[in-house]
Amino acid sequence: MEQLNGLVESVLATAADQGLWSPGDTLVVAVSGGPDSVTLLHVLHEISLRYQPLRLICAHVNHGFREESREEAEMVRKLAAELAIPFELAEFDIPGFMKESGLGPQEAAREKRYRFLIDTAHRYEAQGVALAHHADDQAETVLMRVLRGSGLAGLSGMKWKRTEKKVELIRPFLRINKTALVEVCREEGYAYAEDASNQLTKYIRNAVRLEVLPFLEKYNGKVKQSLLQLAEIAGAEDEYMEEMALKSYEELVSREPGKSAYDRAEFAALPSALQRRLIKLILNYLSADSSSFDFPKIEAVRRGTLQEHPTTWSLHLGGGLTCSRQYDTIVFSSKPVQQQAGYTYRLSFPFAPVGLTEIGKIITMTVLERESFNVLGEDCTKMSAWFDSDELIFPLTVRSRLPGDTIRVMGLNGSKKVKNIYIDDKIPASQRNLIPLVCDGLGNIVWIPGVRRSMHAAVGRHTTSVLLLSMDSKSGREEP
């Protein structure tokens, strides 16, 4: 009884320190029938009787892998009845689910098991699901992640608690060694089952436990303790880095539905560790499936961002996401790239505004007499342009851009491709289709709003009538 009491006190202290539950909570206890989960149910039952009111639900899963599974289910049912705890049983055809889902045996079993536990918690309106993972499990997990090449988050191992579908998954035994749990079972006479599949080294966790850790213990007898310390340190530092990444996200990232962006120079000022965190955070916010966002992809985005020479590129990151550099802006998008629909509108007399519905703009024409027009006030780089109306060839049309478009730019001998002008002006590729082209009656491009006007029909000393073209957004707000 002494060891059980010591374990109860240790779990109570851990629960208070980590905020695992509150008095009066309902907890679903996952009981496989092994010594770890049997001890967990007894410890929580002792706590509910002697220290804090807790409502417990015993939940068991029969995965259908072994002949002994039905006997183990009955053993757990009997245990729950002895403790007067409600019992929930799920029986699954995991081999059949493996064929259906394409998952391996352990992954398929875990998927079904966690889904059942969380569904059970919802039915009982439970605050948490208690899992019997212990210190040895934690050491194995950390070592497996070291072998896999995990970052700081992976090295922190399993968490004391995490939320899944509004249910807390809690692990009160993470500081308790398995030997202590087995000794409690033997001292108190608790019946438990031994899973023979735990000795099969074809499963990587079993191989790590039975082969890799014993080999490492030849060189460091406290390798498990070292791995637990690594998890503790990595967990604390991971939490701090996540806080800093969230702060950088709030300060540097502009957001709209399905899209996030940041400025290259502001990103470059961050430490490299925080740069990687920020990229990963953006990707996690934009996609429900973050499994494909590995180190090489995150590093490709980071290095592409840090290139000093102005450039443009685009990367498909998986999970339905793309990342593109538009000169000094990095844009992440979960929206599929849509081709801009082609359009053509005619500008005709009388001078009624023409709405360009495809891009949400309005083109207006105004005729001014020469006496009321001040040439010195002309600014052809903004959203208005002036032309000698007598020199223009009508009718004017407004259209979307086409491959190979050229314009005879004022002050330049010859024509220049519109695409090259956009590149020279560092206009992001995503914005180019939003810029219309105004053409004269012969098809010559005479004005690219906000970008260039052509040499055609320039206003001069002999101009008697001036045509003013302006483009605005449909809201009437002046474009920058």
Q: Residues forming the annotated binding site for ATP?
A: 32-37
DSSP element (H, E) containing 55: strand 55-62
**Which tokens in the block code for residue 110?**
């875990």
DSSP 28: E
**Residue 223 vs residues 130, 134, 164, 212: alpha-carbon distances, Å:** 27, 16, 31, 11
Run of H or E including 280 = helix 272-286
Record the tokens describing residue 249, joined without a space.
């996200």
CA distances to 19, 134, 225 from 472, rounded to whole Å, are: 57, 65, 67
Dihedral of the CA atoms 446, 452, 453, 459 (nearest 10)? 170
What secondary structure does DSSP assign to 194-247, as a single string? --GGGG-TTSHHHHIIIIIHHHHHTT-TTHHHHHHHHHHHHHHHHHHHHHHHHH
Annotated binding site: which residue ranges? 32-37
**Torsion sign, CA atoms 301, 158, 33, 128:** negative
283, 290 Cβ separation under 8 angstroms: yes
